[in-house]
Homo-oligomer: A and B are copies of this chain.
Amino acid sequence: MKITQSLHRSVQIDPNRLMTVDGDRRITAKESFERVSKLAGALIAYGLSVDDRVAILAQNSDRYHEVLLAVPWAAGVVVPLNSRWSPDEVAFALEDSGATVLFVDQAFVDVGLGMKRRLPQIRTLIYMGGDRCPSGAEDYEALISAAEVAGDAGRGGDDLYGIFFTGGTTGFPKGVMLSHDNLMVSTLSIISTGHFLTPRGRILHAAPMFHLADIGQWIGGNLLESTHYFMDAFSGAGVARSISENNVTDVLLVPTMMQMVLEAAAANSIDLSPVSHVVYGASPITDTLLQSARAQFSEAEFTQAYGMSELAPVATILLPEDHSDSELRRSGGRAAPLTEIRIVDGEDNELPRRTIGEIVARGGNVMLGYWNRPEETAQALRNGWMHTGDSGFMDESGYVFIVDRMKDMIITGGENVYSVEVENVIASHPSVAMCAVIGLPDPVWGERVHVVVQPRPGTTVSLEELVAICREKISGYKSPRSLSLVDSMPLSPAGKILKRELRAQAGTSSMANAT
């Protein structure tokens, strides 16, 4: 299978169908085909060879869509960069992947020019901004106008499609190598449930396109002949307005984003009823949020997908019908139809149901490996299974309850503490708006349970109060031993709390120690 195939098919069956709409730019399948063919031609003219890496650092746009197709068309490998990264992180990913071409838009042109000066490996910097192209960069539209048409290189199957850096909540970024088949299998797996996308619908790319969740929806949309709409930067009001103005049928959001869209729609009386499929991930949906979402996305069904970059990205799926059960809503759903999921102990033995262990996965969606990291690849893929590093358990009906990111597990006085369990208790305190439990180094306990709390406006909370409610509900060793209060939490683009940053801050912030 190959990612570019749906573009060929689109031109064959409906060349005048709208493929992308970005502001005033409306591009048909035929035009998209021509632009992609010429952009690929330009890349080849600039010396791109088979398997050369092409990075992109940009907000969502129709041009992002074109780059995602033109790079494999020219036999290259896409490297989408995280738009929240610092210049040092961008430089790291560029150096690590060895990219020779970098696409940037208006928002990242300065970073791009800096990278070109800093890294001689960047031979070509392409400016997608549309306004006057700065010196040192090539203009995207000028390149397309001048280029010769290239034929599709026909990359597919096990060929490398892209390198996706895992940033997120833990560890140093690693480049995840995904093949065409990896991405197609993940997408077909969720499509086969019948609850992913509306055939010939209108998708709003609200989540960032460098994120695999969005790329999965983009591939699915290409297969099902969708029209793509784009949000350059996320805002709740922007998403709500686009849904209403463009009759958007499909949208992927994390719960944090969903909350913001609902609030903006309510404040501005915007109708969200065009949407028929809302897919969300990163964390379960709360009862309160689901209730508002059902009221406002009145015609939509809700599907949750749990996964990770290494799984391209879908591992488990919580179907719309599962949402009627408040217990199941706290799970990540069941194994996607094309993926095997097990819960195992440290020796990869399958554990009985309802016993917490590591979640492992097997199937055609499992990554080729980590770029240039054979040892970490071998470790992650040992015994033929992808070790997610997440802990969880499975119930009698195969629903997977994600207990914690494995690396967020705290070992205190020899006991394992799963931070989510403590967080659930602390979140019930009326003054807590958001909280995160982390392990901090401790001379006595090895690690101690530390909690970071963002209080609700105008309130505060003490460690004693939190310990008191914990003592009612969980074992004593799980109670927090120290507390930091913050005005806001550091969040990943996907809306996850960045515990790595909390750990870094913890050393310098004021702290109330109970021990």
Chain A residues at the B interface, C-beta cutoff of 8 Å: 1, 5-6, 8-9, 12-14, 156-157, 181, 185, 188, 191-194, 199, 223-224, 334-335, 337-338, 340-341, 363-364, 394, 397-398
Contact = CB atoms under 8 A, between A and B. Distances in A.
B13 A335 contact: yes
Contacts of A340: 5, 8-9
Given A1-B364, A12-B335, A13-B335, 7 more contacts: A5-B340, A5-B363, A9-B337, A13-B397, A14-B397, A14-B398, A194-B199
A192 B191 contact: yes
Contacts of A9: 335, 337, 340, 398
A291 B369 CA distance: 54
B363 A398 contact: no
Given A13-B398, A364-B157, A199 B193 contact: yes
A9 B362 CA distance: 12
Integer count of this chain's copies in the complex: 2
Contact of A13 (B5, B157, B185, B334): B334
25 contacts: A1-B185, A1-B363, A1-B364, A6-B337, A9-B335, A9-B337, A9-B340, A12-B335, A12-B341, A12-B398, A13-B334, A13-B335, A13-B397, A14-B398, A156-B364, A181-B364, A188-B188, A191-B192, A192-B192, A193-B199, A194-B194, A194-B199, A223-B337, A223-B338, A224-B337
A432 to B, nearest CB: 36
A202 B290 CA distance: 32
Most chain B CB atoms below 10 A, which of A6, A14, A188, A199: A188
Given A13-B334, A334-B13, A337-B223, A188 B199 contact: no
A211 B112 CA distance: 57
Contacts of A188: 188, 191-192
A181 B181 CA distance: 10
B192 A224 contact: yes
The residue among A13, A363, A398 with the most chain B CB atoms within 10 A of its own CB is: A13
Contacts of A199: 193-194
Contacts of A191: 188, 191-192
Contacts of A193: 199
Contacts of A8: 340
Contacts of A156: 364
Nearest to A191: B192
A155 to B, nearest CB: 13
A387 to B, nearest CB: 18
A2 to B, nearest CB: 9
**Nearest 3 A/B pairs, CB to CB:** A13-B398, A12-B398, A188-B188
